[in-house]
Amino acid sequence: MSNIEEIKKILSRIVKESLGMVNAITFTWRDGIPIAFIAPNQADAEFMSVAVAVAVGSLDALGDAIGSKVRRIDVELENGEHVLISVLDGSLLALNTIPRPNLGLIHIILRKYEKSIKEKGGVGEIGSPELSKSSG
């Protein structure tokens, strides 16, 4: 089994353990290239990957200014949904939720799997292997 397939299995576990609170989840290089995802369609995953990479890039400047690094971002949307982003060295784990989710549960689940995903995914950058058409 390839690392991408293993990452997708972990993403599936996160979705399952969230008890229906996660709408979409993506594992992405810091440059916005999606590696593995579970989303309604590939376009949604690609858009989320690029958007979270831009958001993390912007917030990294704030972290640099105060002498710390961005670790996790939680954005609450107007409709009650959340976008959570975990920064894993050169990669990002991002998900979006249903309105008014159990954030405590989701944070616990993310912490449970972050290390495994980081080990399987490594550090990504431009020039990394292409996204397999079957990863979505």
Q: Give, for all 136 residues of the chain, the pLDDT tens digit.
A: 789 999 999 999 999 999 999 999 999 999 999 999 999 999 999 999 999 999 999 998 888 899 998 999 999 999 999 999 999 988 999 999 999 999 999 999 999 999 999 888 866 443 444 444 444 4
For residue 55, give the CATH number of its domain: 3.30.450.30
State how far the alpha carbon of 123 is from the alpha carbons of 26, 87, 88, 131, in Å: 15, 11, 8, 15
Domain count, the chain: 1
Residues 92, 82 contacting (CB under 8 angstroms): no
Range of the domain at 104: 3-120
Rounded Cα gap, residues 34 and 37, in angstroms: 7
Kindly state whether residue 68 falls inside one of the protein's structural domains: yes
User: Does residue 65 fall inside a structural domain?
Assistant: yes
Q: Which two tokens stand for residue 53?
A: 């990479």
Predicted model pTM: 0.85
First to last CA, the chain: 16
